[in-house]
Amino acid sequence: MVNSSHIIRELTRYMSDHRSEIDILLPLFDSLKEHVQAGRCPHRDGCPSVKAGAVVVDERGQALFFWTGTGWGFPEVPPHRSDSTLGFTALRAVMEQTGIFDVWPVEGVEHPLVIDVDSAGPHDGPAAVKFGFRYVYRTDSAFLAPVMGRLGVEWRPVSEIQSPRLRHRVLNSIHFQRS
């Protein structure tokens, strides 16, 4: 179940792997701890928004890109309490837009590749800051053939991922799997 305790576990694991990013993530850690301590959200308007999204890569080193209205990127959605994990939330973001389910975790890379910190958007409620947990999943391009006629969904090379940090870590995860 994706509650504050689950997100804390994903977050602390990520922070221990990426120590240079701890400072920027600590506000989320503190807010989640306050949720656990209070048994509810005690933040009237300052609660950070949490979302999850997946980069789905295939055997050719291509990623499933989605047209966001302003560019090619990856969908992200807020977790439901009924999601089993935040990684599943990330997958749901892709499944809801494509109907695909032939997707599996990359062995050894089951935890977030990147946690983005951005200003919250118009759909994030009163939150000031949005934390985007990005996971990587594998598929086979043959499974997605029916999806590829859809407008706004395209296989594009991983090298076209805009964020250098995400691009670098997705590339590493692919190499990790091949080795």
129-138 and 49-57 as β-strands: parallel, antiparallel, unpaired? parallel
Q: How far is the CB of 50 from Zn ion (least distance, A)?
A: 10
In the complex with Zn ion, the residue whose CB is nearer, 121 or 126, is 126
Residues 74-133 that bind Zn ion (CB under 5 A): none
Residues 25-84 that bind Zn ion (CB under 5 A): 41, 43, 47
Do the Cβ atoms of 158 and 170 come closer than 8 Å?
yes
Closest residue to Zn ion, Cβ-based? 47
Q: How far is the CB of 88 from Zn ion (least distance, A)?
A: 22
Question: Using alpha carbons only, how large is the chain's radius of gyration in Å?
Answer: 16
Angle (deg, nearest 10), helices 4-17 and 86-98: 100
Q: How far is the CB of 23 from Zn ion (least distance, A)?
A: 20
Residue labelled with tokens 């870590």: 169
Contact residues toward Zn ion (CB under 5 A) are 41, 43, 47
